[in-house]
Amino acid sequence: MFVRRRLVGPWMPTLMNTKLNLWLCRRRLQKLTLLERSFRDTVMQRRRQVVTKRLINFERMTIAPGRIEVERTDVERSEDHGNAIHGVHAIVNGVLVSSKYLSSSDLVPPSSSEISHPTNGTHAESGSLRSKDVIESQPSRLDTSSQGGDKIEKELKMMEAALLGAAKQAQSKADEISRLMLENEQLKASLEELKVYALTKERDMLRREQNRKSDSSVLLKEKDEIIKAVMAEGEELSKKQAFLEGTIKKLRTQVRELEEEKNRLTSKLQVEEAKVESMRKDKAVNEKALQDAVEKCQVELASQKELYNNALNESREAAALAEARVDNEARADLDRRLKEASEREATLGQNIDELRQALTRTEQQAAFREDMSRNDIEDLEKRCQAAEARYEELSSRMPESTRPLLRHIEALQQAEVRAAAAQEKERVVNERLNQTLSRMAVMEAQVSCVRAEQAQLQRSLEKERQRASENRQEYLTATEAAATHEGRARQLEEEIKKIRKQYKTELHEEKARREALEQEVEQERAAMAEYEKRIRAEGRAAGEKAVAAAQPNDIGKALKRWPSMSSQGSVEESLLLQTSFDTHQDKYFEHSDSHSCRFSFSDRPPSPAIHFGKFTYEQLESHLRQKEGEVASYASRLVALELAQDSLAEELVKSTTQFEQLRAEANLLPGMRAELESLRLRHTSALELMGERDEEVEELRADLADVKHMYREQIDMLVGQIERLSSAVGRK
């Protein structure tokens, strides 16, 4: 018993068709074997009856009526293949004759207990052996027969030869039956192999489905891992963004500190013109360096853009070439498959036409044979009627003494003609059977080839489906990856644009601040010059007044006081510079650009003391070194940002190339789907053709069975007619 499993697939109808066809073939082979056995038994029985009738006729012709002596009756029983044989034999003039071969008038009526009619057919070989033993055991009695002894011996030898030939034919038929049984066993074995093959195929299908399920679970795990990786990458990017925002805030605070320190330095550089000039030179150098760096960055950005555009163009060209190549290959493969399918379709059509022609030929032949058999039957009936008429005429004309002889002669002639016709018909029927069997074998081979092609087509369909699903999954993953890469690239481009805008705004602010500082320095210098002029004018006026009013002895004191006045003026000048530096520093710290609260040298009184010396110079140098270190750190950060920009550009190029490749593969998907649909349509058409072909084969087999049955019925009818005619002739 087979375990029925509910599986859906294109291989189920083919498997059911194969099982049904095998079951039908087995049933038909059993029917054919039974029919052949019955036919052979009937033919052998008819031949034995004909031979026995000939023996009876010859014995009647040779043995005179009234001289028959029943010397001994033997009841023999023989078993041949499970069939019991009972017969009564009598020795007539030294010749062993069976009771069933003699008429009732020629035998002495025995008792009812001793005579038993034959129930089953006898075997030809056993009868021939018994006749040989009886003939060899009776040489003396054969010698006693004076008239017709030689003729009887010749007839007996001929009958022995005929019996031996019949035994050989029976042996050949038995060999043929054994061969057919072996073929039946082989067919059963092939059926078992097909069942095992179907079960193994079903097991392979279940394993494939299980593997597909495992592959789908693996793909889901991979997708989960990809999602986790993307989430982790997003978290890392958010962390990087937070870190960059923190660094930007730190940089802003550092920029503010730098601005404050620059304001302090500029206020202090106002004290010494040389230092101010050196700082101006440094500023010019720094500006040039910054401009060079900006130009370099712009040139590098332009070169990167060109490289990126070139890479994009190359990737697009490569994608176009690959797409064209894949399209050409797909078209060539599709054309080849279309040609093969058309050739197969043409061959199948030719086979179908040939089968239809063969069917029509067989129908015509069957009709022709049926007509011929009907004509033969009519001719036989006419001959029978003519023979009966002639018999009646001869019986009316001939004397009574020659009537039995003529009857025997006519009966023998008719029996010979009918036996020859039966042998010819048997030969024709055997030839037709062989032809039908060969055709059946050829058709079964063709059906197996078509089934193999169908299995191959199903395998190719499964492979194409797997490839389409894999391409679809790859396309989806690639589109997701391309979308993520595009999002990342856009974010990075936006970040780069923001950083560039920030750098530009900072540069503009720095330039504005430098210009404001330079203007303030110029104003302070102008104020200092005016203040010095005013002090000098006041000093000169005070000196002239003192010279005019003082006495001559006070000239030396006045001269002594003048240096102190000049030193006091220099001290006041330094104090004024310090106070102006402090006010400028306060203004920059408050980030106010208004000049309303600017320091006026005439309003502020000089401070009593100031400590401006070596300590302030060292502090300025330390601040300069610190600023140089910060500039170096900014340069390193700029290099790191450029490297990050390069890596992001490379990732963007890779993502775009992958996206183009996936887009090309996505463009190929509609063609593959169309090809799959066409293959499915061809598969269904092939299945329909196979079903039609199987139906035609079944119809042909049914027609052959009907023709065989009709021929057997005709043969049985002819044999019955021959028996009736022979019995009628024997009775007459």
Q: Which two three-digit tokens encode residue 283?
A: 């500023």
In a domain, 17, yes or no: yes
| Non-local CB neighbours of 39 within 8 Å, separated by 6+ positions | 712, 715
Q: Averaged over 501-507, what is the pLDDT?
A: 75
Q: In whole angstroms, what is the distance from residue 130 CA to residue 75 CA?
A: 12
Percent composition of the chain: helix, strand, coil (DSSP 3-state, to 5): 85, 5, 10
Residue type, 123: H
In a domain, 13, yes or no: yes
Predicted local confidence at residue 1, as pLDDT: 37
Nearest to 80 by CA among 134, 127, 131, 47: 127
User: What number of other Cβ atoms are within 10 A of residue 663's Cβ?
Assistant: 16
Q: In whole angstroms, what is the distance from residue 688 CA to residue 339 CA?
A: 20
Q: In whole angstroms, what is the distance from residue 468 CA to residue 474 CA?
A: 10
74, 115 Cβ separation under 8 angstroms: no
Q: In whole angstroms, what is the distance from residue 100 CA to residue 117 CA?
A: 8
In a domain, 493, yes or no: no
Residue type, 526: A
Using a 10 angstrom Cβ sphere, with 0-12 exposed, 13-18 middle and 19 or more buried, the burial of residue 236 is: exposed
Q: Which two three-digit tokens encode residue 180?
A: 């057919």
Predicted local confidence at residue 84, as pLDDT: 36
* Count of residues in the chain: 732
Q: Averaged over 581-598, what is the pLDDT?
A: 41
pLDDT > 80? residue 201: yes
Q: Is 625 helix (H, G, I), strand (E, B) or coil?
A: helix
| Non-local CB neighbours of 179 within 8 Å, separated by 6+ positions | none
pLDDT > 50? residue 257: yes
pLDDT > 70? residue 329: yes
The answer to whether the Cα torsion of 517, 522, 525, 530 is positive or negative is: negative
Q: Among 581-595, 631-645, 702-716, which is the least confidently predicted range?
A: 581-595
Predicted local confidence at residue 575, as pLDDT: 44
Q: Which two three-digit tokens encode residue 66?
A: 């009234």
Q: In whole angstroms, what is the distance from residue 295 CA to residue 288 CA?
A: 10
In a domain, 527, yes or no: no
- Read off the pLDDT of residues 418-452 as tens digits, 9 standing for 90 and up: 777 877 877 887 787 777 777 777 777 776 777 77
68, 93 Cβ separation under 8 angstroms: yes
Q: In whole angstroms, what is the distance from residue 278 CA to residue 290 CA?
A: 18
In a domain, 284, yes or no: no
Q: Which two three-digit tokens encode residue 446?
A: 């063709």
E-state strands within 524-621:
none
Do strands 83-92 and 73-80 pair parallel, antiparallel, or not at all (unpaired)?
A: antiparallel
- Read off the pLDDT of residues 668-721 as tens digits, 9 standing for 90 and up: 777 777 777 777 787 777 778 777 777 877 887 787 788 778 777 877 887 787
Q: In whole angstroms, what is the distance from residue 701 CA to residue 28 CA?
A: 9
The residue segments making up the domain with residue 47 are 1-269
Phi, psi (degrees; rounded to nearest 5) at 14? -65, -40
- Read off the pLDDT of residues 336-360 as tens digits, 9 standing for 90 and up: 777 776 787 777 777 777 777 877 7
pLDDT > 50? residue 86: no
- Read off the pLDDT of residues 62-85 as tens digits, 9 standing for 90 and up: 544 444 343 344 433 433 443 333
In a domain, 108, yes or no: yes
Residue type, 350: Q
Q: Is 121 helix (H, G, I), strand (E, B) or coil?
A: coil
- Helix-helix angle 403-549:12-62, to 10 degrees: 170
Predicted local confidence at residue 411, as pLDDT: 76
Categorize the per-residue pLDDT at 268 as very low, low, confident or very high, splitting at 50, 70 and 90. Answer: low
Phi, psi (degrees; rounded to nearest 5) at 337? -65, -40
Predicted local confidence at residue 604, as pLDDT: 41
In a domain, 423, yes or no: no
66: left (phi over 0), alpha (psi -120 to 50) or beta: left
pLDDT > 60? residue 600: no
Q: In whole angstroms, what is the distance from residue 44 CA to residue 169 CA?
A: 9
Predicted local confidence at residue 546, as pLDDT: 62
Q: In whole angstroms, what is the distance from residue 73 CA to residue 61 CA?
A: 22
Categorize the per-residue pLDDT at 589 as very low, low, confident or very high, splitting at 50, 70 and 90. Answer: very low
Provide the whole-model pTM: 0.23
Distance of CA 106 to the CA centre of its chain: 86
How many domains does the chain fold into?
A: 1
Predicted local confidence at residue 279, as pLDDT: 64
In a domain, 151, yes or no: yes
Position of tokens 């510079």?
Answer: 577
User: In the predicted model, what is the mean pLDDT of the chain?
Assistant: 67
pLDDT > 70? residue 612: no
56, 100 Cβ separation under 8 angstroms: no
- Read off the pLDDT of residues 217-233 as tens digits, 9 standing for 90 and up: 787 788 778 878 878 87
Q: Which two three-digit tokens encode residue 41?
A: 């038994």
pLDDT > 50? residue 177: yes
